[in-house]
Structure 1
Amino acid sequence: MFFKIVSNRKAPHILSTVVFQSPYRTVLKDNAVPTIFDLTSHLNNPHSRHRKRIKELTEEELEKMKERRLEPCTESMMINNDSDITEGQATSEDPPTLTDEEKEVRDYLKSLFEILVVLGKQNIPLNGHAEEDKESTCFTPSNFQALLEYRINAGEEVLRKRFESTAVNAEYCSSTQQKQMLEVCESCIREELLQEIRECRFFSLVTEDLVEITGECHLPLFLRFVDQSNCLREEFIGFLPFEGDEETLTERLLFEITEKWGLNMEYCRGQAHVSSGVFTKKMKSVATRLAEKYSLAVHTPCSTCALNIYLANSITLTGVQIVMSTFKKIDSFFSNSLVLQAELEHAISIFYQGNEEKANDLKETCHTSWTERHDSFELAVDFLESLLLCVDSIHDNEDFKWSDQVTADAYMISEALADFEFVVTLVVLKNTLSFTRAFGKNLQGQAMDVYFAANSLTAVLHSLNEVMDNVEVYHEFWFEEAVNLAAALEIPVKVPRLYYRKQRPEAGMEIQPESYYKEYLTIPVVGHVIKELKDVFSENHLKALKCLSLVPSVMGQLKFNTSEENNADIYKNDLPNPDTLLAELHCWRIKWKHRGKEISLPSTIYETLQLSEVKFFPNVYAFLKVLCTLPVLKLENAKCNTARKRFNAYLADTPINHRSKSLALLNINYDIKHDLDLMVDTYTKMYQEKENE
């Protein structure tokens, strides 16, 4: 006997069928969530065909099911235990018996791996000067050797026996064996992460700026995914050698991800590449090739980098690259010394004597990473005169307060700041990127901010196109601002010296600075910003961001008058029941529109995914999990950003000659569990011949 029950949410088209003769009898509560129960739509979904077909129960089967439910629990548990024992006896296999010698070797290897893991997690390099000059006796042994000796002296029997069986002055573990074991450690730790990512299916690829390791450039790789607890995470996976042309680099990257790591790039939903300098063009080409091969791996900016900084780094003009590299030098120069920061504050006080409020604001700002902010170019213009005054004073070093290295660094910064090309480039960047500043800031905000940013891109591009259409007028104002600023700094207005060396104009031909900078600076900068915005905010990218209206707080801000249906088709094949998507989206809006007054609207994807009732909306649930992986969206939980913080700390704390790809992975992923037995098994299989020798 069947009854149709109509929800009291004034949605007469939403029907739920309850079978009262079923042993799974259910009563629909007054506050039940309206949803769609469609048991057939998954049959048309290729991603769901592996699921078992629902069986129609006969009357006899229903009666038997009722009888089983009435049986005592103890009897049921006994039956289950008996069946488990029988199954275990049938499937279990005794582990191979090891000889005493083999056990001793395994225990010895476990001790070595344990030492390597400790050194890696504590970021202690294995080797020292003794490895560089083995004939010298004036250096202490390597850290690895010293820790081995310490454990032997502490009474570790396994290592002591091994030591007694080796020749006098022989290495306990050769550098070759250490390298092999490090590779095994790295592989096992990475596999723990990759296994978790495979279970979650969807991920995004994020690369950072190049890192120098053992004299070569390497590309840091991160993967972003939503784990089983519905928490967005970004984990460090390793380094990729940065060698070859764009095609070679792309092939090596794909080989690493698919063949070596076992991930399916068809599940990659986003990519972001943070790069600077001459390597920016190559990474842009890699991103384009990946997007051509995997259309859903949309190229986006990275949430950890301000959009204006990202746009400036992507411009390959020499003047722009000088500005960006000088920013890095300024940050490195002042951030590591409170004394130098105090000197800069003193220079600010001198320059802004008549404006104490402005001076205090700048003093407070100089203690932050202001060179990485959305408004960094505006701040640089405000700082410029104080900065030049400060570094000139440090370089003069009249009271012999500063070391030679500090004065040399100050001189390099001073030379860059006191050049007109730097000044005019800074002014052009400030004015051009003022149109994208608010847009970029919203991209790093809450879900509602990102949604409105996605819908405001057209207006941003319209403003920039207007600048391009009237570039003569805009350039005239910008150039005048640069000339006035240069005059205040006593910097002569001139064309870059390198231009004359490259172009070699005819004798007597004079190049006007205003015309030169319009042709070779303003027009290329504005044109590049327009093109880059169109590239990284493609149609698929904007469609995905506009689906942030699925977040209840965004939905509420829009008065629940949303239309995700127009954009949701981008991830249609990723949904469990795409045929019911439209009806489910309607139910999702109804649920939040008619919520109780005491219920607040979740404001982030993370908060939405943590709701217990979200799983009653399987398509919305799946859609939000995929959308969340886009690199442009910020990591909402500070805990999920641990890997990046430890990555930056590793680079800051580790000298270049002590960096190691394997130890870096161990240090950055210190919280990943490690299985010493697995490491031993892996090592034995990979290097069995070595062990037998």
Structure 2
Amino acid sequence: MPNFCAAPNCTKKSTQSDLAFFRFPRDPERCRLWVENCRRADLEAKTADQLNKHYRLCANHFVPAMVCKTSPYRTVLKDTAIPTIFDLTSHLKSPNTRHRKRIKELTEEDIMKIAERRLVSSTKQLAKKDEEAEDAASADTGPQLSTEEKELREYLRSLFEIVVVLEKQGIPLLTSNASTAGNTNTSNFQALLDHRMNAGDKALRKRFEAAAVNTEYLSATQLGQLLDICENTVREEMLMEVRESRFFSLVTGDLIEFASENHLPVFLRFVNQNNTLREEFLDFVLYEGEESALLERLEAQLTDRWGLSMEDCRGQAHRATGAATTKMKAVAVMLMEKYPLALHMPCSSTALNIHLANSLPFPNVQIVMETLRRIGALFVAPFTQEKLDESITMTYQGNEEKGAALKQACSSRWTEQHNVFDLLLDMLLPLLLCMDNIRDNDDGRFTDSVIADAYSISETLADFEIVATIIILKNVLTFTRAFGKNLQGGVGDAFFAANSLTAVLHSLNEVNDNIDVYHEFWFEEAVNVANIMEISVRAPRLFLRKQRAADVGELQVEMYFKEYVTVPVIRGIMQEVEDMFSETNLKALKCLSLVPGVMGQMKFNTSEENYGEVYRNDLPNAETLSEEFYCWRIKWKHRGKEVSLPTTIHETLQLPYVKFFPNVNTFLKILSTLPLLKLEENNGEAANGRLQAYLDSMPAEQWNKSLAMLHVNTGVKHDLDVMVDKYCLVCSEEEPEVEPEAEAEAEAEPEGEAEADPEVEPEPEANSEGAAEEDVAMK
């Protein structure tokens, strides 16, 4: 709806001008000054809340210095802005004209009161300016940094610059030799220090030459402090954007092991002030403990440490695999019980069928999913893809067309696609042949680890239970494949997919009701594939041993797979789909019809107000929700022929006039954060990919949590002066320095030092004596 200016003799409205319009302030005193300057007698009886809700002033009534343009699409007022520019006489030239905004005629008493108030206000402002000037003068004339302090800051700045080089280039702290031998003298950090000093860094050179012993320039504890301060500074930059955007979603990744402890990588998804969707990596959370302990730890990380409010969390997704799946599902349920709008959804970066299979807590299914991950990792190694292509050619000699299609499908990341189980079934024979060729290693191109992986994969795929499980998964997940592909596609596809869930559940229920018939066909398919692969058809050996021990009669293999594979899989998939797409989740997804491109496909016959109640408490003007939705539809329905309909949330949020529809604007920002929707700018995949690239680029024993976080977020600005200030503040808050002899004794106890800062992974020290001498040199 258009905004009209409340000033007398002003006819500006938002739909006819690019001018910014500002609400009356909620502060009663400041609001009274606005009304007083407007000279509108009819506004004096209204409260500040009423004025804030229903009345606006355009930017023409403020001096330019009071108006700030924070972005191409956002204009704000300074906190002390008062309107002073008004036309109070032009209506007198046309006395017969009906004047809607009656101007209050001021009496002499009113004029005297206004003058007194302005005099008091001017006096206060002058006093405030004098205080600020005195503070600035005292700051300028305050104690200056001594030469030693300046040299120390330059030295610290050089150290932080080296840390930034390490994180940007993904360089481990230690060389491969140092990681095995425990010799910190060969650390990459030390090598960069030497290089920088040789390149002419005077601050480092002076500090180095003053040291009594040059074996180790920086202790593990001090290096840990540098990394910690860098990490916290970069994280705070990102958290400022999250707080400004208010709404966010929580996304966790698969487990990563640091120092024999599993950690969850945590990502936050939000829309920044430029209306761009981002998904950024924030930190690792310790995974150990029960579900309740993990939830408490995760919530404390988000609120107590990062300063976020879980009341603003609008979605959650957990990319867990293996045994962690059940635990993370329990955490998600408990989180939704506390915060009902933190909707639990699949993550857009994981195909829905893969997510559904990962969620099944059955050993045979988890073996299949783990084998898929191992296959994907194996074909990253050199020459393995070439062997696979040769195996496909040999297997499908009589069907070149299918062979070519399989080669194209398996060219990259085929183990992560929506139709992965169909591909895996077609690839069983070529995969076994490829594994055998890798094991033979006739040309000597494969390492021992690759050969060992190939042997393990071939043994797994040659088991009838695994073959039968793959076929059952393939057939059951056929009913969700198209649904998931659309749901994680474009905005329009996701909207129509949300409306097709009933049909998907109907198909799954039909299979469940006729499970005997379906299982018969699926088991027959499994037997045929096993015969081609020359695999014996039998139940698992563990189950057979239990049957013999219990003295049970003859076991029918088909009945075993029906009872222990087919029925649990179909019912588990049905339950997971119902849990993931509850009524609240579907209502949220159906609000995607607010995107103009979806409206056009629906012929503008949409009913967003039926679903908009989900986020009513988040809206700035919830009482005008239906009217605003109606105006939004009419605006796009009667647009000019030259105006194209935006097809994505990102395009819609970039429109300059979307701010005049505050409820729609808020809705679109909340919907963007939902983890299920595809990231239009691929920011989330880039962050997750950089994390994985860091982990893949070095041995696990050289992983460092701080460097991993810094490496993933290389795009965030690094203010070295802020880092130096924080380091100096930390050092000043620590205990007074001890005498060198006592310090040497303290340095000789590395175990106590490591316990003092559990967040940092210290490098192994060369020896306690060298560490003590080094620290004395640092003094």
TM-score by length of 1: 0.89
Rate the CA distance shift 1:387–1:233 in 2: closer, same or farther, 3 A: same
Q: Distance in 2 between matches of 1:183 and 1:517?
A: 53
Q: Does 1:289 align with 2:334?
A: yes
Look up the SS of the partner of 2:35 in the other structure: coil
Structure 2 Cα separation of the partners of residues 596 and 221 of structure 1: 45
Q: Could you say what secondary structure the match of 1:527 adopts?
A: helix
Give SS of 1:395's match: helix
**Which shifted more, 381-390 or 628-637?**
381-390
Q: Which amino acid aligns with 1:528?
A: G
Judged with a 3 Å threshold, the aligned counterparts in structure 2 of structure 1 residues 16 and 27 are, in CA distance, closer, same or farther, namely closer
What is the aligned partner in structure 1 of residue 526 from structure 2?
482
Is residue 614 of structure 2 the alignment partner of residue 570 of structure 1?
A: yes
Cα contact 2:376–2:415 (8 A) shared by 1? yes
State the SS of the aligned residue for 2:436: helix
Kept in 2: contact 1:214–1:660 (CA 8 A): no
Partner of 1:74: none
Return the match for 1:56 from 28, 35, 39. 35
* Alpha-carbon displacement from aligned partner over 1:218-238 (angstroms, at most 9, x marks no partner): 100000000011000000001
Residue equivalent to 1:300:
345
Query: Do 1:547 and 1:567's aligned partners in 2 also have CA atoms closer than 8 Å?
Result: yes
Preserved CA contact (<8 Å) 2:253 2:319: yes
Q: Is the 8 A contact 2:599 2:606 kept in 1?
A: yes
Map 1:188-203; keep pairs closer than 5 Å: 188-203=233-248
Structure 1 equivalent of residue 714 of structure 2: 670
The Cα of 1:28 is off from its aligned counterpart by 8.2
Report the AA paired with residue 35 of structure 2.
Answer: E
- Are 1:644 and 2:644 matched, yes or no? no
Residue 233 of structure 1 is matched in structure 2 by 278
1:25 corresponds in structure 2 to 11
Residues 1:355 and 2:417 aligned together: no
Of 65, 70, 74, the match for 2:85? 65
Residue in structure 1 matching 2:431, options 387, 396, 399: 387
Aligned to 2:154: 107
User: Which one is further off, 462-471 or 420-429?
Assistant: 462-471
In 2: Cα distance, 1:412 partner to 1:316 partner: 22
1:106, CA displacement in angstroms? Answer: 2.1
Alpha carbons 2:464, 2:536 under 8 Å: kept:
yes
Q: Which amino acid aligns with 1:25?
A: T
How far apart, in 2, do the equivalents of 1:503 and 1:281 lie? 28
Equivalent position SS for 2:164: helix
Q: Within 1, Cα distance between the matches of 2:13 and 2:433?
A: 77
Decide whether aligned partners of structure 1 residues 51 and 342 sit closer, same or farther in structure 2, where only a CA change above 3 A counts: farther
Q: Structure 2 counterpart of 1:613, which letter?
A: Y
After superposition, the C-alpha distances for 1:263-305 in whole angstroms (9 at most, x for unaligned) are 1111000000001101111111111111111110000000000
Using the alignment, how far apart are the partners of 2:240 and 2:5 within structure 1?
40
What residue number does 2:635 align with?
591
Shift of 1:173: 0.9
Report the Cα distance in structure 1 between the residues aligned to 2:498 and 2:553, rounded to whole angstroms.
Answer: 48
CA contact (8 A) 2:530 2:536 kept: yes
Map of 2:595 onto structure 1: 551
> CA distance change for structure 1 residues 618 and 158 in 2, over 3 Å: closer, same or farther?
same
Shift in Å, 1:445: 1.1
Return the TM-score normalized by structure 2: 0.79
Which of 601, 604, 625 pairs up with 1:581? 625
Deviation at 1:90, TM superposition (A): 5.2
Counterpart in the other structure of 1:3: none
> Aligned equivalents of 2:556 and 2:390: distance in 1?
38
Distance 1:96-1:364 versus aligned 2 partners, 3 A rule = farther
AA aligned opposite 1:347 = S
Whether the aligned pair in 2 keeps the contact of 1:206 and 1:223 (CA below 8 Å) is yes
Matched position secondary structure for 2:266: strand
Q: Please report how far the alpha carbon of residue 443 of structure 1 lies from its aligned counterpart in structure 2 after TM superposition.
A: 1.2
**Cα gap change, 1:158/1:457 in structure 2, threshold over 3 Å: closer, same or farther?**
same
Q: Which residue of 2 aligns with 1:163?
A: 208
**Structure 2 residue matching 1:335: 3-state secondary structure:** coil
Paired residue for 2:656? 612
Q: Secondary structure at the match of 2:186?
A: coil
- Supply the distance in 2 between the matched residues of 1:194 and 1:393 (Cα, whole angstroms): 51
Q: Which moved more, 1:59-68 or 1:400-409?
A: 59-68
**Greater CA deviation, 232-241 or 122-131?**
122-131
Contact 2:3–2:14 at 8 Å: present in 1 too?
Answer: no
Residue 426 of structure 1 aligns with which residue?
A: 470
1:437 to 470, 481, 504: 481
Partner of residue 302, structure 2 = 257
Match of 1:312 among 357, 370, 376: 357
**SS, match of residue 561 in structure 1:** coil
Q: For residues 488-527 of structure 1, what are the structure 2 equivalents within 5 Å?
A: 488-502=532-546, 504-507=548-551, 509-527=553-571
Contact 1:214 1:656 in 2 (8 A): no
Alpha-carbon shift at residue 135 of structure 1 (Å): 8.7
Instruction: State the distance in 2 between where 1:685 and 1:463 align.
Output: 64
Alignment: residue pair count: 657
Aligned to 1:146: 191
- The verdict on how the C-alpha distance between 1:124 and 1:84 changes in structure 2, with shifts beyond 3 A counting, is farther
One-letter identity of the residue aligned with 1:597: K
Percent of aligned pairs sharing the same letter: 54
Q: In structure 2, what residue type is equivalent to 1:245?
A: E
Distance in 1 (CA, whole Å) between partners of 2:30 and 2:636 is 31
Partner of 1:535: 579
Distance 1:400 1:64 in 2: 84
3-state SS, counterpart of residue 65 of structure 1: coil
Residue range with higher mean Cα deviation, 103-112 or 89-98: 89-98
Q: Do structure 1's residue 267 and structure 2's residue 287 form an aligned pair? A: no
Q: CA deviation at 1:140?
A: 5.9
Give the alignment of 1:214-229 within 5 angstroms.
Answer: 214-229=259-274
CA-to-partner distance for each residue in 1:561-582, whole Å, 9 max, x for gaps?
A: 0100110011111111111111
Shift, 1:650, TM fit? 1.3
Q: Residue in 1 aligned with 2:228?
A: 183
CA–CA distance in 1 between the matches of 2:262 and 2:614? Answer: 36
Q: Separation in 2 of the partners of 1:609 and 1:376?
A: 35
Which amino acid is the alignment partner of residue 229 of structure 1?
N
Give, in whole Å, the separation in 2 of the partners of 1:69 and 1:98. Answer: 60
Within 5 Å, give how 1:121-132 maps onto structure 2. Answer: 121-128=168-175
Letter paired with 1:267 = D
Preserved CA contact (<8 Å) 2:248 2:269: yes
Which of 277, 280, 283 does residue 322 from structure 2 map onto? 277
Q: 1:54 to 1:549 in 2, by over 3 A?
A: farther
1:342 Cα deviation after fit: 2.0
User: Contact 2:160–2:226 (CA<8 Å) still a contact in 1?
Assistant: yes
Relative contact order (C-alpha < 8 Å, sep 6+): which is higher?
Answer: 1
Contact 2:4 2:11 (C-alpha < 8 Å) held by counterparts: no
Q: For the Cα contact (< 8 Å) 1:190–1:237, is it kept in 2?
A: yes
Which residue number in structure 1 is paired with residue 730 of structure 2? 686
1:371 to 403, 415, 418: 415
**Aligned alpha-carbon RMSD (Å):** 3.0
Q: Deviations over 1:215-257 (max 9, x none)?
A: 3211000000000110000000011111111111110001111
d(CA) in 2 for partners of 1:682 and 1:503? 67
Extract unaligned runs of 5+ from structure 1: 1-13, 71-80
Q: Deviation per CA, 1:161-200: give whole Å up to 9, x if none.
A: 2122221234221011111221111111111100111111
For the structure 1 residues 189 and 502, does the alpha-carbon distance in structure 2 shift closer, same or farther, using more than 3 Å as the test? Answer: farther
Find the aligned partners of 1:195 and 1:399 in 2 and give their Cα distance.
56
Q: CA deviation at 1:687?
A: 3.1
User: What's the offset of the Cα at 1:456?
Assistant: 0.7
- Structure 2 alignment gaps of length 5 or more: 41-60, 62-82, 91-124, 739-779
* Higher Rg: 2
Residue 408 of structure 1 pairs with residue 457 of structure 2: no
Q: 1:130 to 1:485 in 2, by over 3 A?
A: closer
CA-to-partner distance for each residue in 1:282-341, whole Å, 9 max, x for gaps?
11111111111111000000000000000011111111111111111111112332x222
Shift of 1:466: 1.1
Q: Distance in 1 between matches of 2:595 and 2:224?
A: 48
